């Protein structure tokens, strides 16, 4: 890594990547030794799909895949997380602009493109098996830290049945382009436009998923009133959506996503010694509890949590 010594190392994220800023070239070096294909090849492929559809995403400047890095366009430091943390900003106005971008993402019809190695990459389906395995991270990492071995086994068995049941209640087909980590820390304010980063996990999935990750974002605390206003604005821009079916999917996916996040944040602390994420877990629980109160489909899960995690 000596060749990168003159470059400024940026604060990392939850992935197996390092980022370096090259001010002279207005670029970012993305270095990935683990999960290299996803973090470099697939990341570039998804960015190409966005750019093709006139969505601002990092252009590839150069690549050295053999040496585990790519060089991409730099959008600076101004995330929408920083913008929305400003008390004087009109949050609803900002979210309306983000929803318009989400609509643009969801209108993408492309599901394949050639990456920089001239290989055809096809965006995969975000099926129930993937959703189940992601939610299972909650019982793989968080539950063993809270329950005894015998309780852990019983809880996990019931938990998996409840998750399978919730997945069977989803109404909408997997036919929509899903960024899969669509929250304000991955949106940049660049030349008076919104730029999209961290897109390597994109899949073709449920239309409600990205809206759930935006509105019920564990990193940014927002009022329930604002969450509801943003949700209603999205509905206004999508007249074909059937409210009851969409709301059910939205709430199920929000709960499953935040359970997954609790599992991931626990794993980051235990396995990778990245303990800063633990402070976000209480708010994730708060949002899970808020969404579970809304429909009968969550009765079994609520009872399970009440018995084994009574203090939440």
Overall number of domains in the chain: 1
Q: In which residue ranges of the chain is pLDDT below 70? A: 1-6, 12-15
Is the Cβ–Cβ distance between 72 and 53 less than 8 Å? Answer: no
- Which of 228, 191, 189 has the alpha carbon at shortest distance from 89? 189
Q: Give domain status of residue 118, yes or no.
A: no
Q: Give domain status of residue 71, yes or no.
A: no
pTM assigned to the model: 0.94
Token reading at 300: 């079994």
pLDDT for the residue numbered 24:
84
Q: Give domain status of residue 139, yes or no.
A: yes
Q: Give domain status of residue 25, yes or no.
A: no
**41 DSSP 8-state letter:** I
**33 DSSP 8-state letter:** S
Between CA 116 and CA 154 the distance in angstroms is 48
Is the Cβ–Cβ distance between 231 and 211 less than 8 Å? Answer: yes
Between CA 297 and CA 303 the distance in angstroms is 12
**Helix, strand or coil, per DSSP, at residue 176:** strand
- Which of 199, 243, 276, 262 has the alpha carbon at shortest distance from 39? 199
Domain that holds residue 205: 78-111+123-308
CATH number of the domain that residue 155 is part of: 3.90.1200.10
Q: Give domain status of residue 166, yes or no.
A: yes
Give Cα 46 to chain centroid, integer Å: 15
Q: Give domain status of residue 281, yes or no.
A: yes
Q: Give domain status of residue 63, yes or no.
A: no
The strand pair at 27-31 and 69-73 is best described as: antiparallel
Token reading at 33: 């030794």
Between CA 263 and CA 303 the distance in angstroms is 20
Q: Give domain status of residue 10, yes or no.
A: no
Calculated CA dihedral for residues 105, 109, 115, 119, nearest 10 degrees: 160
Token reading at 168: 């069977």
């Amino acid at each position: 890594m000596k060749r990168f010594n003159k470059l400024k190392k940026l604060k990392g994220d939850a992935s197996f990547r390092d980022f370096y800023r090259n001010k002279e070239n207005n670029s970012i070096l993305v270095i990935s030794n683990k999960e290299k294909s996803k973090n470099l090849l697939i990341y570039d492929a998804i960015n190409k799909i966005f750019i093709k559809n006139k969505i601002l995403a990092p252009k590839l400047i150069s690549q050295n895949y053999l040496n585990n890095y790519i060089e991409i366009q730099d959008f600076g430091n101004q995330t929408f997380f920083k913008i929305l943390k400003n008390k004087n900003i009109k949050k609803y106005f900002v979210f309306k602009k983000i929803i318009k971008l989400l609509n643009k993402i969801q209108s993408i019809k492309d599901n394949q493109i050639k990456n920089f190695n001239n290989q055809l990459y096809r965006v995969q389906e975000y099926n129930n098996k993937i959703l189940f395995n992601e939610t299972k991270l909650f019982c793989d990492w968080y539950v063993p830290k809270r329950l005894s071995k015998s309780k852990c086994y019983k809880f996990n068995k019931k938990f998996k049945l409840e998750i399978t049941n919730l997945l069977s209640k989803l109404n909408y087909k997997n036919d929509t382009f899903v960024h899969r980590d669509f929250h304000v820390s991955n949106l940049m304010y660049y030349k008076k436009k919104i730029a999209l980063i961290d897109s390597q996990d994109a899949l073709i999935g449920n239309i409600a998923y990205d809206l759930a990750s935006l509105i019920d974002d564990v990193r940014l605390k927002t009022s329930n009133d604002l969450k509801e206003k943003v949700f209603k604005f999205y509905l206004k821009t999508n007249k074909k959506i059937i409210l009851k079916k969409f709301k059910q999917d939205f709430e199920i996916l929000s709960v499953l996503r935040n359970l997954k996040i609790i599992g991931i944040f626990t794993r980051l602390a235990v396995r990778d010694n990245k303990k800063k994420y633990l402070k976000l877990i209480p708010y994730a629980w708060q949002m899970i509890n808020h969404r579970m109160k809304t429909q009968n489909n969550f009765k079994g899960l609520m009872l399970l949590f009440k018995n084994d995690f009574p203090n939440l």
